[in-house]
Structure 1
Amino acid sequence: MRPRLVVDYGLAKRAALAELRSGQLTRADACDAQPYLLRAARFHGEPTETPCPVCRAEPLTLVRYVYGDELGRLAGRVTGTAELAAMAREYGEFRVYVVEVCQGCAWNHLSRSYVLGHEEPPSDP
C-alpha cells in the first residue's frame, strides 16, 4: 500500500495555531469539532501519542475518511488503516483524508490526504 499524490496540510495547521496564539482566532472557533467527528474519533479513530497543540492535555486521535467514485456506499466512511490495505487491493483509486482530533478540547484539523488503489497513476507521454 503506497500512498500517492500526498498533500500535507501542516502549513495550514501552523497558520491556524499562530492565529489562535495571536488572538486573531478564538479558541471556540479553533476547537469546533462536530459531534459526529468526536464520536468517530472515540469509536473508530486511531490514538496517537502526540499531545493536542491547543490544550496539551489530551493526545490527538486520527480519523480517516475515504472518498472515491468506485467506493459506492463506502464513500465518506471512517476507515482504519487495516481496512485501507484491503480497499487498496480491491479498488482502483480513492482518496483518504486524515483528520486529527482532540477529544478533550475538540480541536480538529485536516492533517493530510493521499490516494490509494491498485491502479498506477497515468504515465506522462
Structure 2
Amino acid sequence: MNIFGDAEYTFCIWSERLDWRGDITVPIEPVALDSGLRSDLESMLASLGLTMGIFDLKIDTSGQPIFLELNPQGQFLFLEGLTGAPLTDAFAEFLYDRLVTPTTRSARPVEAARYT
C-alpha cells in the first residue's frame, strides 16, 4: 500500500517468494484492501506522525495479511512502470501540497522561498 497524503494506491504482487524482485515478470495488479486493514494501516501511519508511507505485507496460506514493514520513504516508482498507475503525479501533488501548506508534523517546515 502506497500512501501520499490523501492518495492511496494498493497493489498485489503475485509471488510466493518473500523477495520477488529478481523476477519482475510476476503479475502485479491494483487491489482494494479490506476496510479494516486499510484503517489499521492508516492509523499506524498517523500514530507515527507520517503523511507518507509504503507498506509491505504478505498474504499467508490462509489468506491473512502479515505486516512486514512500513517504509516512510519507500520505493514505489517501479510500480508505475509496471502497472501504469499515476504514482509520479500523486507523489508530486503530495510534495506540492506539503510545500504550499506545511503541517506542524514536519520536523523542519519547508520554506517556499528556498525553492523559487
* Larger RCO (CA within 8 A; separation ≥ 6): 1
- What TM-score bracket applies, with the shorter chain setting the length? under 0.3
Q: Which has the higher strand share?
A: 1
